[in-house]
Amino acid sequence: MSIPRKIVVCGAGGFIGGHLVADLLQQGHTDVRAVDIKPLSEWFQKFDGVENLVLDLQEKEACERALAGGAQVYNLAADMGGMGFIENNKALCMLTVLINTHLLMAARKYETERFFYSSSACVYAADKQVNPDVTALKEADAYPAMAEDGYGWEKLFSERMCRHFTEDFGLVTRVARYHNVYGPEGTYDGGREKAPAAICRKVIQAKLSGKLQIEIWGDGHQTRSFQYIDDCVLGTQKIMQSTNVTMPINLGSSEMVTINQLVDIVEGIAGIKLQRNYNLKAPKGVNGRNSDNALIQKLLGWEPSISLKSGLEKTYRWIYDDMAAKG
């Protein structure tokens, strides 16, 4: 009797990876292997009936162990976080190149059927993101290259590695450029959290403490789009299984807001108004970024289904309950 080949999720102890494993199990898959560098006790989500492995995927031998017997591979593993982490840890972000390189080598060795790489909107050229009223970024806007220093350059290089492994070795690769992803079961403190989770935490802290103030990084006019985790997981799998998405493609929301508007929404959910203190010296990233979804709509008919307000309500409730449970 042949042993079924595995669906391997790398970075499964992280935010997106944990939700992807949960969705695969909900679909009825019993052949899932989950891999992460963190101890199992620190995984955001952990499931029975899954082969859970703790491995450092920067190491070549670890990647071979992770992919042995793997049919499909989702590479979501990276040393990353929010803008504060990215701007202050450029070398660590660049070292993530070892993960995708060694995973691609292992995928070729074991004749993996499909390989998904999670890239980022940080690959886009900085000169196209200088104004808050930004034109939504098309896939072609990654070139001429002027990526986010450190993290963005690693992502762009790893996109090219996927392309060349397809061209030279016939490995089927799919690449999604994630725009900000948020939702429950993720990090909201410690320095790696992203803006939606950080703002939810700050608003909750203000509400619980009675100190009705909030620090905002930058002037609050910078713009972003935010994609709820359920939409991201669905879009990721659509891209992975597609026959016609052979180039890096945007996976994000086109619902652009300012950081001030993001705070407005969370304040509305919490039922409070806060004094805003702007930290102009804090990392704030580019002035404007939004996703042009024309290509993914054309090729896959995909568009996020969950509004920012609805997604933030779910995220806020989860963070509130988790903070309360931790005292």
Q: Which residues are catalytic?
A: 151
Task: Tell me whether residue 133 is exposed, middle or buried, using C-beta atoms within 10 angstroms of its C-beta: 0 to 12, 13 to 18, 19 or more.
Answer: exposed
Q: Is the dihedral of CA 251, 254, 258, 261 positive or negative?
A: negative
Closest CA to 218 of 288, 147, 271: 288
Q: Identify whether 144 is preceded by a cis peptide bond (ω within 30 of 0).
A: yes
**Beta-carbon-side half-sphere exposure of residue 295 (alpha carbons within 13 Å):** 20
Closest CA to 11 of 20, 23, 2, 3: 20
HEC string of 183-231 equals CCCCCCCCCCCCHHHHHHHHHHHHHHHCCCEEEEECCCCCEEECEEHHH
Q: Going along 62-136, which residue ranges are E strands?
A: 70-75, 114-120
Q: How far apart are CA 245 and CA 249, in angstroms?
A: 8
Residue 213 tokens, joined:
């103030």
Q: How far apart are CA 139 and CA 145, in angstroms?
A: 12
Q: How far apart are CA 282 and CA 85, in angstroms?
A: 11
